[in-house]
Chains A and B, each alone.
Chain A
Amino acid sequence: MADQPDTAAPAAPSADPMPETVADMLARGERARAEMGGAARVAAIHAAGGLTARDWIERLLDPGSFREIGTFVQADRHDQRNGTYGDGKIGGHGRLDGRPVSVGADDLTVKAGTDAHGNKRRSDRVFRQAMERGNPMVYFGQAAGSRIPDILGSEVMSRGAGLGAWLHRGRQAPAVMAIVGRSYGESSFNSALSDFVVQLRGATLAVTSPRVIEMATAEQITEEQLGGVDIHNERTGQIDLAVDTPEEVIAAVRDFLSYLPSNSRELPPRREAPPPVPAPQLRSLVPEERRRGYDMRKVLRALADEGQYLELKPRFGRSVLTVLARIDGRPVGIVASQPMVQGGAMTPEGCDKITRFVCTMDSFNVPLVFLADTPGFLVGTQVEQNKLLHKAVLLSQALFNVKVPRLTFILRKAYGLAYFAMSGGTEASALQCGWPTAEISFMDPEVAANVVYGAELAALEGEARTQRGAELAAELKRGTSAYEAAAAMGLDEIIDPADTPVIIAEWLERLVANYDPVNRPRVLSSWPTCF
């Protein structure tokens, strides 16, 4: 050694002898990662154009950042341990766009990814670590249900922990579920406990599979009819986004999380953006003709920073829009009427959509912006039987408990309870503005004319009745103007619509500066994740 210079580089690690125990462990881990539940099964998934659990995780995370937890978990039953590394669930921690994140995925190569006690301990462990560390959890669900017969019998059942760790979450950190295959088990339940659910076309989300349903009730139904993307996207609202490709799944997860902080004690990440400037196009996007509909999405796009826009549940409860956007680089949650659908009238489905959105935004300190143009709540037998009463009041309760900065803009109509359900009233928001086209009242003037002057109108017929009705409605409408509300300080200000993005940016700057995400009351964090 004496002939070696002092400056010699230290020997490369590979020069050290590898203890047999370490080599054995590394070989086992490598085999578990490479072969999973069998090389043939991995090859079969790839041959069918699919992705394995590890592929999903790899695609999501920053390259090389995955640090696995529970690599050597095996099936609970000793007689079935051979080749069951991971026990059907993969999990661990890594980074997404540089931020810490935890991940999990159902592994179809081991026992079809079915739910069992061993893998539940692993999944729950990773989830709890995520919540305790304060970083988001993302899961790729494709498990066909519980592992039978392993979970049969009273002993096993009574040892179980029910829905597990996700049930106990209080929105400490964001939870995201991507349904990427046939999901009938724990992944389905955990989707309902998540803040964001994206479903890949061709995947199924349901409690029970068609096979079990047919055995139990003789009903025959396809997976697509039972829990395909179109069912959830348009009818049940149990997902937030439907996508067509795996690339879109990953993009949706990344996009959603980019608007949220890592946990509920932090402010959402702000991006560099040019300062907002007046948007003159906003002056003409809302028709002054009050019966003319328009697409509120155009207003939202004019308000948001270029391309910074993610609409949730776009095909469900369509008379309202719930959108994550950035204004002045700052994430905001926008709730807006959609006058193009049902005139922007509020529905039970729309109430649920807003309530869930408001709970998520408030829990993760994302300021809320309301844009109202609604003729009121939809009336009729159908909506009454769909629990309009409870849904509307639930939304009102949620709004009462919002603590995150909130701004309201009345663009055109704001009538009845819907005025309050769209965060109307100076008690509700830090700033309450009206556009010059704003109308506020208990009831739409055309309806009110018939209620107030019903007897007078009933005595008339034909054109005379129509004309008198219009005169009376016009008379009542004069009392609904923005200026009447502003005269009584029911609006803080009537603004030039073009200035809206600038006003939002200025107010959020001030409000967020005085907002304490750590010590503020946190009522909505413990509200349900589904309604």
Chain B
Amino acid sequence: MPVAREIRSEITGMVVKTQVATGEVVAVGDIIAIIESMKMEIPVETPVGGVCTLVVSEGDTILEGDLIARVG
């Protein structure tokens, strides 16, 4: 069984929007969530396609390197 790809945050900030729900199928380049940092909204894209398991919720504060989702 292929290992799911972990999507981690490049930055510290707050999850202001989740664009997909757990169980949803995503394609390469789809936006999973939007992180707000330094008054900027940073879209988090998936580099792979597959079934998404979201591990953050809107309003969560996350650190650089924190897990946002698994896709695969």
Contact = CB atoms under 8 A, between A and B. Distances in A.
Name B's interface SS: strand
B38 A343 contact: yes
B42 interface: yes
Contacts of A189: none
B66 to A, nearest CB: 15
Contacts, number: 30
A292 interface: yes
B38 A291 contact: no
A294 B38 contact: no
Contacts of A446: 39
A446 B11 CA distance: 23
A140 to B, nearest CB: 31
B6 interface: no
Interface string A453-483: 0000000000000000000000000000000
A345 B39 CA distance: 11
B43 A341 contact: no
A345 B38 CA distance: 9
B18 to A, nearest CB: 16
B13 to A, nearest CB: 10
A291 B10 CA distance: 17
A470 to B, nearest CB: 13
Interface in A302-345: 339-345
A341 B41 contact: no
Contacts of B39: 291, 343, 446
A292 B10 contact: no
Contacts of A291: 39-41
Most buried by B among A289, A343, A344: A343
Interface string B32-72: 00000111111100000000000000000000000000000
Contacts of A344: 40
Interface string B8-25: 001100000000000000
Given A292-B43, A293-B43, A294-B43, A340 B11 contact: yes
A342 B38 contact: yes
A291 B41 CA distance: 6
Interface string A282-293: 000000010111
Nearest to B45: A295
Contacts of B37: 293, 342-343
A202 to B, nearest CB: 21
Nearest to B40: A343
Contact of B10 (A341, A343, A345): A341
A341 B39 CA distance: 11
A511 to B, nearest CB: 34
Contacts of B11: 340-342
A344 B38 CA distance: 9
Contacts of B43: 292-294
Interface of B: 10-11, 37-43
30 contacts: A289-B41, A291-B39, A291-B40, A291-B41, A292-B40, A292-B41, A292-B43, A293-B37, A293-B40, A293-B41, A293-B42, A293-B43, A294-B42, A294-B43, A339-B40, A340-B10, A340-B11, A340-B42, A341-B10, A341-B11, A342-B11, A342-B37, A342-B38, A343-B37, A343-B38, A343-B39, A343-B40, A344-B40, A345-B38, A446-B39
Interface of A: 289, 291-294, 339-345, 446
Given A294-B42, A341-B11, A446-B39, 16 more contacts: A289-B41, A291-B40, A292-B40, A292-B41, A293-B40, A293-B42, A293-B43, A294-B43, A339-B40, A340-B10, A340-B11, A342-B11, A342-B37, A342-B38, A343-B37, A344-B40
